[in-house]
Copies of this chain bind each other. A is one copy, B any other.
Amino acid sequence: MAKPNDKQLQMILEDMVIARTQASRLWNLQRQGQVGTIAPIDGHEAAVVGAVHALETESDWVLPQYREPLGLRRYGPEVLDTFMLYNLGHPAGGHIPDPVKVAPSQISLGASIPHAVGLAWGMSLKDEPGVVLVFFGDGASSEGDFYEAGNLAGVLKAPVILFCVNNQWAISTPTHLQTAADSFASKAEAFGIPGVTVDGNDPIAVYEAVFNARKRATSGKGPTLIEANVYRLGAHTTADDPTRYVPSDELSAAQKKDPVHTFIKDLTARGLWSDTKQDEIETAALERIDEAFEKAKNTPLSANSLMDHCFVSDTPRQLRQRSFLMDSTGKSNEH
C-alpha cells in the first residue's frame, strides 16, 4: 500500500527513535575514545527509516553512504553488529553477513551509485525481483559517478532508486555552492527519469515516494531520483566543528522541525505512541547498542587479517609478506 498503516507508522517511529538514541550513545563512545570517527544521523532519521520501510527486505538492496547505518535496523540486527565492528576499525566491520541485503558504508562519495545501477541491472538480467536503493548526499551528487550512473540507469531502465539525502550541507559547503540547479531532484532531467522532491522530515511522505519509485522500478519502468530535504542537526562528523559555518538561526529553525520530535507528537496525537513506549524503546535501544559494542570489542583479531581477503589466495609476494608479518608480530609479542 502506498500509505503506511498504523502498525507500520509505529514501526517507523520505533526505528527513528532507536536510531536517534543509539546515535547519541555512539557519540559518547567516540568522545570517550572508544570508537573512531562517527557521522551522526541526527536529523536524517525520517528520511532513512521512512525510505527503508517502503522496501522489501528480502528482495531489495540498500547501499548506504556512511550516515545511514543506524537507520537500517529493519534489515536485521546484523547491520548494527557489523557497524559497531566498523566503528572500532575491525576488518569484520565490512562484512554484513548473507543474506542481509545491505552493503557496508561507502566513504568514496558517489562511488556506490554505479554499483547500485549495476546491481539493479544484474538483478533484472537474472529476472530477480526487487530493487536497489542507494543513499547519497547533496555533496555526493556533484561527483561524476552520480551523473554517469544516473544516465546509465536511465538508458538501461534499471530498477534502482537514487535517494539523495539533502541535508543542506556537505561538511561546510552549503547547497547553493554545491549546485545552481533548482533542486537535486531536477537533475533527473539529465537522465530522462522522474525526479521527486519530498520533505525528508516527514517519514510518511518519504515512504510514499519510495513506495511509488519501487512500484515503478519493479514494473520495468526504470529508475527514480528522490531528493529528501532534511537538515543536518549535528556535526558532519565527530571531527567537525559546525559552529564555524552553520548559521545558528538556520540551525534553530531546523531544530524546530526535528523529524523525531515531530513524528512523536504526530503519533502520540493519533494514539499510536506514548511516553512509556518511548522509554521502553530507548532503554532497549541503549541495551542493544551496548551489547553490540561489547560483542564487537570481544571479536578476536589476528595479524593475519591484514593479509586475508585481498585475493582469494595469496600471490607469491603476499606469501612472503605474510610470513614476514607472522615472524615479526610473533617476535614483537615476545617482548
Question: In residues 34-79 of chain A, which contact B (Cβ within 8 Å)?
Answer: none
In contact, B189 and A189 (Cβ under 8 angstroms):
yes
Question: In residues 131-183 of chain A, which contact B (Cβ within 8 Å)?
Answer: 142-148, 151, 154-155, 157, 176-182
A178-B155 contact, Cβ under 8 Å, with A145-B144, A148-B143, A148-B147: yes
In contact, B181 and A154 (Cβ under 8 angstroms):
yes
Which residues on the B side are within 8 Å of A236 (C-beta)? none
Residue from B146, B180, B192 within 8 A of A191 (CB atoms): B180
Assembly stoichiometry (copies):
2
Q: Report the Cα distance A178→B191, complex, angstroms.
A: 10
In contact, B190 and A147 (Cβ under 8 angstroms):
yes
Chain B proximity of A281: nearest CB distance (Å): 41
User: Is A322 engaged at the interface, CB distance under 8 Å to the other chain?
Assistant: no
Which residues on the B side are within 8 Å of A145 (C-beta)? 144
Contact digits for A187-212, partner B, Cβ 8 Å, 1 yes 0 no: 10111110000000000000000000
Residue from B151, B176, B179 within 8 A of A179 (CB atoms): B151
Q: Report the Cα distance A154→B187, complex, angstroms.
A: 13
Which residues on the B side are within 8 Å of A10 (C-beta)? none
Which residues on the B side are within 8 Å of A181 (C-beta)? 151, 154, 189-192
Q: Report the Cα distance A250→B178, complex, angstroms.
A: 41
User: Is A238 engaged at the interface, CB distance under 8 Å to the other chain?
Assistant: no
Residue from B154, B179, B193 within 8 A of A154 (CB atoms): B179
Which residues on the B side are within 8 Å of A147 (C-beta)? 144, 146-148, 190
In contact, A189 and B192 (Cβ under 8 angstroms):
no
Which residues on the B side are within 8 Å of A142 (C-beta)? 148, 151
Chain B proximity of A177: nearest CB distance (Å): 6
Q: Report the Cα distance A14→B39, complex, angstroms.
A: 62
Nearest B-chain residue to A193, judged by Cβ: B180
User: Is A237 engaged at the interface, CB distance under 8 Å to the other chain?
Assistant: no
Chain B proximity of A208: nearest CB distance (Å): 24
* Contacts A154-B181, A155-B180 supplied; 17 other A-B pairs, CB < 8 Å: A142-B151, A146-B147, A147-B148, A151-B179, A151-B180, A151-B181, A154-B180, A155-B176, A155-B177, A157-B180, A179-B192, A180-B192, A180-B193, A186-B190, A187-B189, A187-B190, A190-B190
Task: Report A's interface with B, CB cutoff 8 A.
Answer: 142-148, 151, 154-155, 157, 176-182, 186-187, 189-193, 222
26 contacts between A and B (CB under 8 A): A142-B148, A143-B144, A143-B148, A146-B147, A147-B148, A147-B190, A151-B180, A151-B181, A154-B179, A154-B180, A154-B181, A155-B176, A155-B177, A155-B179, A155-B180, A180-B191, A180-B192, A180-B193, A180-B222, A181-B191, A181-B192, A182-B189, A182-B192, A186-B189, A186-B190, A187-B189
Query: 4 nearest interchain CB pairs?
Result: A144-B144, A180-B192, A154-B180, A147-B147
